[in-house]
Amino acid sequence: MRNTLYKRMLCKLILFSIFLLTFTHMQAQPVTIPIETSKQALVLQTDAESRLRTVYFGKILADKNEYPSASETYHFDDNNAGIYNSVYTPAGTWNLSEPAIQVLHADGDPSLELKYDSHQTRQIDDNTSLTSIVLKDPVYPFQVTLFYKVWKKENVIEQWSEIHHTENDDVVLKKFASANLYFSNDDFYLTSYHNQWAKEMQPVETMLERGIRVLDSKLGARAMLLQSPNFILAFDQPASENEGSVILGQLAWSGNFKLEFEMDSYDNLRLIAGINPFASEYSLPPNEVFKTPSLIYAVSNNGTGEASRNLHDWARKYRVLDGQGERLTLLNNWEATYFDFNEEKLTALFKDAKNLGVDLFLLDDGWFGNKYPRNGDNAGLGDWQENVKKLPHGIGYLVKEANKAGVKFGIWIEPEMVNPKSELYERHLDWVIRQPERPEVYFRNQLVLDLSNPEVQDFVFGVVDKLFTDNPELAFIKWDCNSVIYNAYSEYLNKVGLPQSHLYIEYVHGLYKVLERLRKKYPKVPMMLCSGGGGRGDYELLKYFTEFWPSDDTEPVERIFMQWDYSYFFPAIVTDNHVTDWGKQPLKFRTDVASMGKLGFDIVASHLSEDEMKYCKEAVQNYHSFKDIVWHGDQYRLVNPHKNDIASVMYVKKDKTRAIMFNYLVNNRQRLATAETPVKLNGLDPEKKYRVKEINLYPGTRSWIDPDKEYSGDFLMKVGINPIVNLRRTSVVLEVNEVE
């Protein structure tokens, strides 16, 4: 008996010791979470307090087992400023630096602590994995789940967060970032992009200094009118095309955004990106989930060229609607007619479209409104019935006539907006975003509809649905959005007892809901995203759109710069470029520039001279023969117009058998000698032999390039070729073909 008792006690003692050992071991053993692409690792690790920190962001290690040691190389004194490298920095407790999240609990307490709880990684397919990490507040039933979706081959990461609680009333979210990253390095160079109407994507590169550099928007709709949520972050040296570590990033959110780049007191960099908390406190009821938008970024240790090509591949394969599909070339009537057209004028333009050789005619603004006809931008917006004077036989007739002429038909809408001079405004003042007690403030004579209201969502859905139901052969939509939100106030939110501070966020959610419904019913019809030019164009909206309009500025020299800068983030297949009458460059120059993307025209083709028409038709034919390379190939930015007198860009077919190279003179001061040095090509097979032929020659001109000469890919990439761009040849398009 005694013996058994003794044995039991011994057994208990052993078990207890094992428990104690395991427990101490668990306490001492940090949890390390490596998130790896094929080249890059983001390593997170718990500290002694179970707070999760970023301990490494850099090239992957050959031996994964060495990641846990990364943290030992840092000796931070955390006593005064909190931990800068927190993976999701909370406010109200130990942290005194810029937070990623700030809340007011149901009981009014403003403190938040987040400790590691659990994590898992799920393999979605060979190339894609999703890691989720749960962080919990030890005091309140409040948690945040961080998501990291990784596309290994493309070295692209998408990060977002989900916030959830089971407190006994709403928790007010005061700040709720998508991602909170930490980079340890000597110097950081940030390129940000600044916009205005017709002046989009103006890059500014700065070396970051102590303090916080903020990129943000508070415009509500047309959110990128002044700043863009795209950025390049370069490590140690300014961003360069073929060398150095860089990140190309974007916050994929179509409303107010805020990206904060904070250089901390160790000269390391904290990046906090998400919805702009400005006027947007969000009351989150218990058991609901608040999902933030995504921060998407491509990482490369070989410069911006490789990062872009990877981002392009990712966008086409995984993100943009029909990213690997085809696009429609078109003739648009906006600058050809503005609001002044009728059936006769339009049917003549259908013939022009056919004559040019494009696929589609796009009818722009001005086709609707009867009580308040849309003859200018001050009336009719919201009344989506054909104007009977201009179009007595309706859209259906136009679709048929276009088809008869041999082209498809597409149409412009701006369904989120309303002119005060409209029947919609008269009927539904309650649908309009406006301060009831204050004078209305207009942007382009219009106001924004309140998409937080489900009735407005139905209306917007209905505008598009009716067009497609009435005209099943409608082949294309241009969806415009010309106004920012002034006097942000929603009658609907008031009615349902929700705070006004939800408006900016619910507007965007409402827009996504409409697009979700539309894409369920019409999964593939191509739609162009436009926002008074390039006020929109983000990877969340591009889930629903096949392409976007980068800018109303189509002056071709300006456009070379703009397309260059957009190309860091977007593949050519999603950017629409039109040949217009902007600027003084010859038609050839304008057409060549517009061919570096999805080609369109917005001119009166019947006004072209015989030679111009001949040139255009041949250029369109050529475009059809090489568009596959521009849309689906690899892009190489060869000569930077920001730093040189010429610009040179090439697109290479994935199998390296063909390429197309565009070269332009971008500085036409007198006596410029620009034909002195060759341009080194890129992306070819060094072993293959190629011939280089100039195409898109203007009638009556001859090429200065010998089309019969053979070069090795090695030669073309090391020595290069001189496109002979000069004041007499300002635009030169070269086709590079493998010698069979």
Span of 69-77, 262-270, 518-526, 527-535 interacting with ligand DGJ by CB under 6 A = 527-535
C-alpha–C-alpha distance, residues 195 and 550, integer Å: 11
C-alpha–C-alpha distance, residues 370 and 360, integer Å: 27
Q: How far is the CB of 332 from ligand DGJ (least distance, A)?
A: 8
The residue from 34, 532, 537, 571 that contacts ligand DGJ (CB under 6 A) is 532
User: Would you count residue 412 as binding ligand DGJ (CB under 6 A)?
Assistant: yes
- The number of CA neighbours under 13 Å toward the Cβ of 76 is 21
Q: Which is nearer to ligand DGJ, 274 or 410 (CB)?
A: 410
User: Would you count residue 193 as binding ligand DGJ (CB under 6 A)?
Assistant: no
User: Would you count residue 547 as binding ligand DGJ (CB under 6 A)?
Assistant: no
Q: How far is the CB of 261 from ligand DGJ (least distance, A)?
A: 31
Q: Bridge partners of 136?
A: 115, 143
Other C-beta atoms lying within 10 Å of the C-beta of residue 240: 15
The residue from 510, 533, 556, 633 that contacts ligand DGJ (CB under 6 A) is 533
Number of residues interacting with ligand DGJ: please give it, by CB under 6 A: 11
Exposure string over 719-730, b if 16+ CB within 10 A, otherwise e: ebbbbbbbeebb
Q: Which is nearer to ligand DGJ, 381 or 638 (CB)?
A: 381
Q: Which is nearer to ligand DGJ, 176 or 412 (CB)?
A: 412
User: Would you count residue 601 as binding ligand DGJ (CB under 6 A)?
Assistant: no
User: Would you count residue 482 as binding ligand DGJ (CB under 6 A)?
Assistant: yes
Span of 528-536, 612-620, 626-634, 723-731 interacting with ligand DGJ by CB under 6 A = 528-536
C-alpha–C-alpha distance, residues 351 and 348, integer Å: 5
Burial of 740 (0-12, 13-18, 19+ CB in 10 A): exposed
Q: How far is the CB of 412 from ligand DGJ (least distance, A)?
A: 6
User: Would you count residue 552 as binding ligand DGJ (CB under 6 A)?
Assistant: yes
Q: Which is nearer to ligand DGJ, 113 or 552 (CB)?
A: 552
Q: What is the DSSP string of 286-346?
A: TT-EEE--EEEEEEESBHHHHHHHHHHHHIIIIISTTTTS----EEE-HHHHTT---HHHH
C-alpha–C-alpha distance, residues 239 and 565, integer Å: 13
Q: Which is nearer to ligand DGJ, 175 or 578 (CB)?
A: 578
Q: Which is nearer to ligand DGJ, 197 or 561 (CB)?
A: 197
HEC per residue, 453-497: CHHHHHHHHHHHHHHHHHCCCCCEEEECCCCCCCCCCCHHHHHCC
182 and 44 in contact (C-beta within 8 Å)? no
Find the binding residues for ligand DGJ in span 346-405 (CB under 6 A).
Answer: 364-365
Q: How far is the CB of 446 from ligand DGJ (least distance, A)?
A: 10
Q: Bridge partners of 211?
A: 263
Q: Which residues have a Cβ under 8 Å from the Cβ of 684 and sit 6 or more positions away?
A: 652, 656, 659, 690, 713, 716, 717, 736
For 562, the 3-state DSSP assignment is helix
User: Would you count residue 334 as binding ligand DGJ (CB under 6 A)?
Assistant: yes
Burial of 430 (0-12, 13-18, 19+ CB in 10 A): middle
Exposure string over 593-620, b if 16+ CB within 10 A, otherwise e: bbbbbbbbbbbbbeebeeebbebbebbb
The residue from 47, 200, 386, 480 that contacts ligand DGJ (CB under 6 A) is 480
Q: Which is nearer to ligand DGJ, 116 or 334 (CB)?
A: 334
Q: How far is the CB of 372 from ligand DGJ (least distance, A)?
A: 15
Q: Which is nearer to ligand DGJ, 255 or 600 (CB)?
A: 600
Query: Looking at beta carbons, which residue is closest to ligand DGJ?
Result: 365
Q: Which is nearer to ligand DGJ, 55 or 484 (CB)?
A: 484
User: Would you count residue 420 as binding ligand DGJ (CB under 6 A)?
Assistant: no
User: Would you count residue 200 as binding ligand DGJ (CB under 6 A)?
Assistant: no
Q: Which is nearer to ligand DGJ, 339 or 468 (CB)?
A: 339
Q: How far is the CB of 531 from ligand DGJ (least distance, A)?
A: 7
Binding site for ligand DGJ (CB under 6 A): 334, 364-365, 412, 480, 482, 530, 532-533, 549, 552
